[in-house]
Every structure is written in C-alpha cells, then in structure tokens.
Homo-oligomer: A and B are copies of this chain.
Amino acid sequence: MKNYIKADEWSIIEEGFDAHHHQISESIFSLGNGRMGQRANFEEAYSGQSLLGNYIAGVYYPDKTRVGWWKNGYPEYFAKVLNAANWTTIDVSLEGEQLDLAKCAVSSFTRQLNMKEGYLKRNFRARTEGGREVEVEAIRFCSMADDETAAIKYTITPLNFSGTITLAPAIDGDVVNKDSNYDEKFWDEVSKASRPDGGYVVMRTKKTGFEVATGMKFSIVQNGKAVQPPAEAVVKEKYIASLIKLQVQQGQSVSIVKYVANLSSQNHPVQKLTENLELTLARVSAKGFDTMLAEQAAAWAKKWERNDIIIEGDVSAQQAIRFNIFQLNQTYTGEDDRLNIGPKGFTGEKYGGSTYWDTEAYCVPFYLATAHPKVTRNLLLYRYKQLGKAIENAALLGFKNGAALYPMVTMDGTECHNEWEITFEEIHRNGAIAYAIFNYVRYTADETYLADYGLEVLIAIARFWSQRVNWSANKGKYVMLGVTGPNEYENNINNNWYTNTLAAWCMGYAMEVAEKVKALAPEKYEALIAKINFDEGTETAKFKDIIEKMHYPYDDDLQVFLQQDGYLDKEQILVKDLPAADRPLNQKWSWDRILRSCYIKQADVLQGIYFFEDRFDTETIRRNFDFYEPRTVHESSLSPCVHAILAARLGDEARAYEFYLRTARLDLDDYNNDTEDGCHITSMAGTWMSVIEGFAGMRVRDGKLSFQPFIPEKWASFSFHIGFRGALLHIKVSKHGVQISNISDKPADVVVYGKGQVVGPNSELTINKD
C-alpha cells in the first residue's frame, strides 16, 4: 500500500518526483474518452522504468495462446488490447542535451489529474546533468467532445541559460506489447508522411487488419506570439517526427501545442483514413487549444451533473469516489455497441483489455443509474451481436441445438484466453449475461428489448444449461460437474451452488420471458421460435424438470449453502487465523495449495445471494455471510463490494464501511501492489455499488426505487443523482435523514425505509431518521 497521492476533492495530485512511483502514476493519471486512451507517460524522453501505453477502443490482436499442450476446444488465441502508436512524445533537447527526468535533479514536480475538467497537468523544474535548468508545464487531454482527437500543450522555460531548444514532436508506431505471448510486434506500417507542421503514421494490425491513422499538427508560441521556426522532417520505420529548433532567451517561455487525431478503420473507410485524418487535424487546430479545453470542461461538467457523488466531511473518500466515477466515464461512454469495458480500461494491457462478466455483474448497475438507458442497452446489444459466436463456441465444446456459451474473455465474440480452467469451466458468466438482461428490464421496464433481442439470447443460454447438467442416478438429481465459480481459488468443482442457482434461474427466466413476449408480441415470438427451432413443449419440459430436480449443495448442520459438493471436506481454518506472512495467498502459496484450501478469492455463494437477495430471509443471508466472509481473502477487487452491500443489508454499518474502504482507494493507494499494471476499472463500478446499493441501500422492487440509507460515521453527508424511468432524483443522505429531490417533470414512486412515497415533479421529500 502506498500513500503518496495528495487528498483533494476534485483532483488527483502527486507532488515531488519519485521514480519508484512513476509506473503506478502512469496508471492512475491515465486519460481516456471511450474511443481512445493512454497511460500518463511523459511527453519528453524518459529512460527510467515506464510502461508505454496508447490504446484505441476495439482494436485488438489475436495473439496465439500460450498453453502447454493444446487440447480440443482450447481457445486458439488470447486477444490483446493493443499498445498503439505513441502520440504523446515531444522530445526536448537543450542545446543538444536531451531532457530526461531520469537523469535530472528534479527540484519540483507536480502531476495533477483534474477530474472536474478532464485533463492531466504536469509541472516540473529540473536541472540536467549538464547543469541546464528548465521549468516545464504540460497539459493534455483526450477530447470527450470530439472523441477522435486529443491535444497537448507543452511549455518550457530555460531558467539559467539562453540558447537552442529543439522540440521533436513525434508519432511513433514502432511499439510493443509487454504481454505479447511470443515477443512479436503486432503492427505493420501502411504509410506515413512528415511535414514541417505535422505528419502522420498509418499502421495496420497483423491478422485482424485494423488500420489506425495517427496524426499530429502543431503550433508554436514564443513570447506570446505564434511563430514558425525552421523544422526538419524526420522519417524512420513506423515513425515520423519534426525537429523544431528554437532560439530561446533565459526566462522566456516557448510553447508547443500538439493537436492529435486517431482515426480507426472501424469508423472510417480505409481509403479515406488519411484524408479524414487531415480534415480532423485541420478542424481541431483551427479551433485551438483553449477552445478544445473549454469544450472538454463542458463535456465533463455534463457527465458530473448526473454521475457525481458528493461526500461531505471526508476529502479522501470524496477524491476516491470521484476517481472511480471519472475512470468509468473515461473508459466507456455507451455510444458504440461494438465496444465494451476492459478490466483495465485504457490504463494498461493486463487481462487483454477484453470483455469479461465484470461488465454485466458490476458495471451494468452503475450505467443503469447514472446514464441514459441506451448505454446499458448498447452493452446488452454487444452480447446480442455476438450470439452467433457464442453458439459456435458452445458447438466447439460439443453442445447442440443453438446452445450458447458466451466467452469468458472476448473482443469480437470468440473465446480467447490462455487457460482452459477459465474458459471451459468458469461458465457462470453465461448466467451473468442473462441476469444483465433481467436487470436492465427490471430497471428500465423496456420490455421491447426482450422481444427484439433478449429472448433469443435467453433461450440460447437456457439451452446451454439444460445440456450442461447431467442426471446423477446416484443423487437422483441433476448435477453440474467440472465448473469454476466466481471463486477462482477452486476449479473443476462439482455443483457450485452459485452456478447451479444461476443456471436454474436462467431457464426459469427464459420461460417467463417467452410467455411475456408471446403475450406482448406474438408475431415476433412466432418468428423467433421458427428462426431458432425452439421446440417449446419439449424444451420447456426439460427446463422445468431440471429446475425442479436441480441439486443445490446444502449443509443441514450449518444451515448454509455449500459452495460446492466437497467444500466441507476442506480443512477449515479461518482467514484471521492464517499467518500474516502467508498473504496475499496468490503471492505466497503455490497454486495447488490455494486450490485445495477453503479460501475464497471473491464472493461466490454471496454473489448468488446478492443477485437473488429477495429469495432469502435475513437470517439465511446472515448465516451464509457469517460462514463465508471469514473464509474469504478478497484477492479479487470484485469481492469487497458485494460484501459491503450485504453487510449493509444485514445492518452491519461498520463492516459495510470497512469493505467499502477496501475498494474505494484500491488504485490510488496501490493496495494490491499491482496498480502499475493499470487501474481496476470494472471494480470501480463495485465501489459505486457499495455506496449506492450499500450505504444508500438502493434496490429496484416491483418497479419502484427503494432506499434504506445509512451514513458512515466519518461522513457528514453524501448525495448523488439517480435516473429512473424518466425521473431524475437527487438523494442526499445525512446524519439526520434522507432528502430526495425530484428534479424532473415525472413523479417518482419510491420506498424509503420500507415505506412507499411519491415524490412529485420538481419537489422534495425529507425523511428524518427517527
């Protein structure tokens, strides 16, 4: 755990330069606009440890998987989010001496991520080995208003000398992926051009053939005046730059504004890429840096209007929650149903940047409440459009008749991961995808989605489950063998309670939706069942039989659901009784030892209880919580949020807050010693859930929003906006109670502390806590 980030309500601030923190900061100070993003690499050269990262949403490479012996059904490739052309570089040479903070005495250094307005700012004063002292200010952002563009303003002032400063803004396509399985480079050069005022590089990915044109245009200001100093074009393999020589007087500043555009063949015809790139660069450079920055601030203001959570009385918590919300908005904007939310967003390469079940289980609640319904709908459509591939994926594993197994990890719908025990066995993701449909419709009441898209996915998923179980003559029950639950610290287990529960629910929900669609849109229903050969009678009879006779492991003595058939055969030593030196287990114990231990990586039975909370009485929830939580090591960042919500549900406010703290500043304080790889983007939605579903106790029941709020002791108040079926509510929870303002023209039915209320349009409801 680190503690070098300065507390501030609206900014992330690092003061003083420490090379040991640099890669962590490169992650934390990352920028993104949903279309592209980048780590906070320095503009000028840096010879110290650094993870270079520039990413274009949806551009990936199918890297050959790294497995021991390939067996039937193994994924052939592991999709990689690609480190793309580096456009941040502005090399600086002071009278021939390269500016490189790794080789300088840095007397002051501040890095600031301004979350309110969406830019990164860096100021430093440094003295080179040659004794040249300069002051630098660099501001940059990825434009939210114009999402194929970005800009950097880099200002340098020589403090103790006059002379030649050479600036070399560049586009460098010759980049590598740190996690390439076989140390290959993934990009080929297509074309490039270098001119005195800019240039571009067009690169094409191997295998997938995505083309990305990355261009720059720049302007120079010296002594407050635009100048056009002599510039020399530099062209190397996959690389262009301009060498701009400036005569600068001691104490006088010179600024370069580097306008950048990144255009992908996903959004432009290949033959128009460079033409459109030039138009884009012309447009933004004509607009100018200050206008772009103002647009950026306005775009973010609009986001914050709906998204912000204001916490009074705790600056650290305020900073943390805003950081989480900021990163989620940087990662995914919901405009494009071909995109999704990688676990590291645009902040690193790890986990391939692909889509996991994190999206459906953790991110959907955030986007449902804070964004237009179309955002979640696009996330659902992403899966709908990949249904064909999910059916192919299941067929590869021997499933038939349109059964679909969605991939554990994907870019384009194809399963792609290095490990069989994940791809073959962690099939519960299929259930989360069905659950997200349920969650969307429960929240939005948009039943047309079911008729148009949802039912087709639900039947395909139900078919999978009905084939995946088998009848155990021994148990006289349907069983599900060889699975991995959300707790990846066990695998190849039998009858994971969570998976069995979810599977049966999926089959039931598919039938329920089929009835609903049949009633609402009979012609669509008929068309669908003809298209997918749904033999309603036989298939639903099978679903019903399985639902009725599914085996759910349960212990009569403990009265808890068993995570899996063999769980109680494991040695039961609680986490609190483990030597501190043994943790985190994933760094200290061998994999086999972890697998046969009782320790749980992340909520598993409790994840199921969270999903289906209303099925269980408080005592059942408590028994299971009290049994499993002490065995849970929370070594997944997705674990504490579910525990926070359930602790709140059980009235254990102190523990709810404790679990919240474990995710809120996970990256800011580098809790798990892994922030240098990138930020835990999807778990940030879990932090939001801890506050909204935990502290505020928000639920959707019977088409109404319900709240059961409490406030952490340390906080004076917290407030947030929730959009729900056309109404927009502002909820403020304080020590005294809850204030709900309806700032829309639609009345809202709410339930607060169990009591139904109506908040009229543009009116307010105050409920004092006893």
Most interface-central of A72, A421, A472, A592 (chain B CB within 10 A) = A592
Question: Nearest-CB distance from A484 to chain B (Å)?
Answer: 10
In contact, B65 and A590 (Cβ under 8 angstroms): no
A45 to B460, CA, bound (A): 56
Which listed residue, B65, B74, B492, B590, touches A595 by the CB 8 Å rule? B492
Q: Is A254 an interface residue (CB 8 A)?
A: no
* Chain B hits for A67, CB < 8 A: 66-68, 418
A589 to B74 Cα, complex, angstroms? 11
Decide: A73 near B590, CB < 8 A? Known: A65-B68, A67-B418, A482-B595. yes
Contact A72 B418 (CB under 8 A): no
- Picked from B71, B565, B587, B590, the residue with its CB within 8 Å of the CB of A397 is B590
Q: Is the CB of A592 within 8 A of B397?
A: yes
**In the complex, are the beta carbons of B586 and A72 less than 8 A apart?**
yes
Most chain B Cβ neighbours within 10 Å, of A418, A470, A494, A566: A566
Instruction: Verify A72–B420 contact, CB threshold 8 A.
Output: no
With known contacts A473-B572, A569-B475, A68–B397 Cβ distance under 8 A: no
Which residues of B have CB within 8 Å of A69?
418-419
The answer to whether residues A481 and B596 also contact, given A492-B491, A569-B474, A569-B475 and a CB cut-off of 8 A, is yes
Contact of A589 with B492 at beta-carbon distance under 8 Å, contacts A66-B67, A481-B566, A569-B479 already known: no
Q: CB of A279 within 8 A of chain B?
A: no
Interface assignment of A753: CB less than 8 Å from any CB of chain B: no
User: Which residues of B sit under 8 angstroms from A470, Cβ to Cβ?
Assistant: 569-571, 596
Q: Is A200 an interface residue (CB 8 A)?
A: no
CB distance from A218 to the nearest CB of B (A): 42
| Of A568, A569, A570, most B-chain CB atoms within 10 Å | A569
Contact A73 B595 (CB under 8 A): no
**Is A767 an interface position by the 8 A CB rule?**
no
Contact pattern, A 561-596, Cβ under 8 Å of B = 1, otherwise 0? 000011011111000000000000011111111011
A677 within 8 A of partner (CB): no
Say whether B73 contacts A591, CB under 8 Å: yes
Q: A65: which B residues are within 8 A, CB to CB?
A: 68
Query: What separation, in Å, do the CA atoms of A421 and B596 have in the docked complex?
Result: 13
Let me know if B481 and A591 touch, CB within 8 A: no
* A68: contacting residue among B71, B417, B565, B586, CB under 8 A: B417
List chain B residues, Cβ under 8 A from A182.
182-183
- Distance of A437 Cα from B634 Cα, bound (Å): 45
Are B66's CB and A569's CB within 8 A?
no
Is A532 engaged at the interface, CB distance under 8 Å to the other chain?
no
Establish whether residues A591 and B420, one from each chain, have CB atoms under 8 Å apart when the complex forms: yes
Q: Which residues of B contact A566 (CB under 8 A)?
A: 481, 494, 565-566
Nearest-neighbour CB distance to chain B for A351, whole angstroms, equals 10
> A78–B571 Cα gap in the complex (Å)?
32
- A396 on interface, CB distance cutoff 8 Å: yes
Within 8 A of B (CB), among A55-99: 65-69, 71-74, 78
Provide the residues of chain B in CB contact with A473, threshold 8 Å: 568, 572
User: Is A471 interfacial (CB 8 A cutoff)?
Assistant: yes
Which of chain B's residues has its CB closest to A73's CB? B590
Nearest B residue to A423 via CB reads B592
CA distance A71 to B67 in the complex (A): 13
Q: Does A163 contact B (CB under 8 A)?
A: no
Residue in B72, B419, B492 whose beta carbon sits within 8 Å of that of A492 in the complex: B492
Assembled-state Cα–Cα distance A591/B421 (Å): 10
Q: Does A186 have its Cβ within 8 Å of any Cβ on chain B? A: no
Question: A541-567: which residues lie under 8 A (CB-CB) from chain B?
Answer: 565-566
CB atoms of A72 and B591 under 8 A apart: yes
Could you tell me if B570 and A71 are in contact, using CB atoms closer than 8 angstroms? no
Residue of B nearest to A479 (CB): B569
Q: Which residues of B contact A569 (CB under 8 A)?
A: 470, 472, 474-475, 479, 481, 494, 565
Q: Which chain B positions have C-beta within 8 A of A522?
A: none
A570 and B418 form a contact (CB under 8 A): no
A425 within 8 A of B: yes
Find A420's partner among B398, B494, B592 (CB 8 Å cutoff).
B592
A424 proximal to B (CB < 8 A): yes
Q: A66-B66, A418-B67, A473-B572 are in contact. Are A591 and B494 (CB under 8 A)?
A: no
Q: Which of B425, B471, B588, B589 lies in contact with A592, CB distance below 8 A?
A: B425
A592 touches B424 (CB 8 A): yes
| B78-A570 in contact (CB<8A) | no
Task: Give me the 6 closest cross-chain CB pairs, A-B, nearest first.
Answer: A68-B418, A73-B590, A424-B592, A482-B596, A474-B568, A492-B492
Question: Can you list 13 A-B pairs, Cβ within 8 angstroms, ordered by A?
Answer: A66-B67, A68-B78, A69-B418, A71-B591, A73-B592, A74-B591, A396-B590, A398-B590, A420-B592, A481-B570, A482-B596, A565-B565, A565-B569
Name 15 extra pairs, CB < 8 A, besides A71-B591, A470-B570. A71-B590, A72-B587, A72-B589, A72-B590, A73-B591, A398-B590, A420-B591, A420-B592, A424-B590, A424-B591, A470-B596, A472-B569, A475-B569, A492-B492, A566-B566
